[in-house]
A and B are shown apart, each in its own frame.
Chain A
Amino acid sequence: MTERIYLLPLWLRLWHWTNAVLIITLGITGVSLHFANPASALVEFSLAVRIHDIAGVALACLYGFFVIANAISGNWWQYVPKPPGILARCWAQTRFYCWGVFKGEREPFRITLETNFNALQAVTYWLVMYMVLPLTIVTGLIFLYPQFAPVEMFGVDGLLPVALLHYLSAAVIVLFAIAHIYLGTMGTKLTSLFKTMITGWHEH
């Protein structure tokens, strides 16, 4: 008989899907702006600017909500990589993705109420959510109000380092999103983890 646990509270699921929609929107409009080309515009420039600005501010607010809700609920602890034996657990998880999964082995990590993420997930999520995303948001906000950017840096316009950090950190998030969506298919069934993310219930 399958064991079910209520893993993800409503606020977390709502945050996750809103975050997902905003990041996809920002990704598409961001690509349209950076690779702006009159011959093949993904989204028309001025429209892309408007959408990117609104979605960016919404993401910044949502991140604020995420930090506060995490602090209140104690969910922040899930993201903290727990050191004793973390390297060995990361290695076991990597070995599973690179080899074990093809042989039909069981995943080395078992989801519990206390620990939602495997070691590799915790390290990656911690990096993306607490290092990369804040960097993208802060640089994005400076981009939105360029008067706060340094006037000049390294002999070029001061907005360049801000823009570069925004571009690079956003690219990391896009790469993460591709891998994240794919790893969502690694549950018991292809759709299991997506279902968990919608209903909050996890089935072993």
Chain B
Amino acid sequence: MPADDIPPECQKHGTRMTVRVFLTRVRVIQAVMIFMVMLVGSLAHAQNSGPSPEALEKARIANIKCFSCHEPAALEHPPQVGLDMKKLRAAVLDSDIFKKSDHGRLACTKCHTEGYTEHPHAADAKESTGTCSDCHSKKSVKIEAEFAKSVHAKHMADTFTCTNCHNPHLMRVAEKLSDPAKIVEQDNRVCLGCHDSDETFAKYAPEKKARPLIDDIHSWLPNTRLHWKSVRCVECHTPVSKDMLSHEILDKKKAEKKCISCHTVDSALNVRLYRHLVKDEQQKYGFLNSVILGKSYVIGATRNPLLDTLLIALAAITLVGVLLHGLIRFIAARLRRRNRHD
């Protein structure tokens, strides 16, 4: 490092400090910083790798106690006398389904924090239930910004929460579900749960807002119900987002209506429903977008370049062939006419 590069304050306070000593100190500081970065990184990794087996076992055992009352079976055979059955009916959950969900390995008390350890539970226990952002703080910043632009925020900003759509006891993220059919079934059940049910729609929708019939407002979409079996509502009702599905739910005016977004070689489905499977693309039978092919035939996107080239070439050969034939016929006829005149 040239002496000119030494900061002026060092030159001022360390008049006796040689360039060599200065460089040594800089290297030590650099080494310490690298060590700290590595330490923080490894700690973060340890955090991301999830709870220890001991902690998981502890959570599992603790949950058995909760499920002794909150399993559906408990409604028929209450484990204790004096339970408020009406309240319990609204709070039962199949433990097997819960275990398969993304939160299935967590202790119930991770979210249901205070007032739930004893029975009867504290009257205000519900108020202390944890929120999604307690754990998902980084994601929630992005999600909240997207949600603020969402059609749901427009009409229900005060009442709408994550759990309106995401049932924390049931849901799995798309990447873990992996099978597109399962992703579609799970996610569309959420949307259709309100938008295809007068009762649930009325529960959340603003007053006087009548539920539009879901088939009527999608009548422009060919094979409507089949589309809903193969793709999610959010394929069209969210803008494309780079890292994860956007939470900006678009209304019918802003939603994607161009069929060609999905129905083309560079299909948007590859960055949406099939985002997690694109890396598995195997060029099955020489088809483009063969990752989609396993589940759906998508007109315009399912293409076999070899077959396409062959058929285009055949059509071109036929066309050129007949034109050439016609030209030779024309020339031959003229020659014959000329010969006759001669």
Contact = CB atoms under 8 A, between A and B. Distances in A.
Interface of A: 33-38, 41, 45-46, 49-50, 53, 97, 101-104, 146-147, 155-157, 159-160, 162-163, 167-168, 171, 174-175, 178-179, 182, 185
A126 to B, nearest CB: 20
B89 interface: no
B226 A182 contact: no
A36 B299 contact: yes
Contacts of B55: none
Interface in B282-341: 284-285, 293-297, 299-300, 302-303, 307-308, 311, 314-315, 318-319, 322, 325-326, 328-329, 332-333, 336
24 contacts: A33-B300, A35-B308, A36-B264, A36-B300, A37-B264, A45-B263, A102-B328, A103-B332, A103-B336, A146-B223, A146-B226, A147-B226, A155-B284, A155-B294, A156-B285, A157-B296, A157-B297, A162-B297, A163-B302, A167-B307, A171-B315, A178-B315, A178-B318, A182-B325
Contacts of A49: 222, 259
B170 interface: no
A157 B291 CA distance: 11
B29 interface: no
A157 B259 contact: no
A104 B332 CA distance: 8
Contacts of A53: 222
A191 to B, nearest CB: 14
B321 to A, nearest CB: 8
B297 A159 contact: yes
B299 A33 contact: yes
A179 B322 CA distance: 7
Contact of B260 (A38, A102, A104, A155): A38
B300 A45 contact: yes
B294 A175 contact: no
B258 interface: yes
B329 A101 contact: yes
Given A36-B299, A156-B293, A157-B297, A175 B315 contact: yes
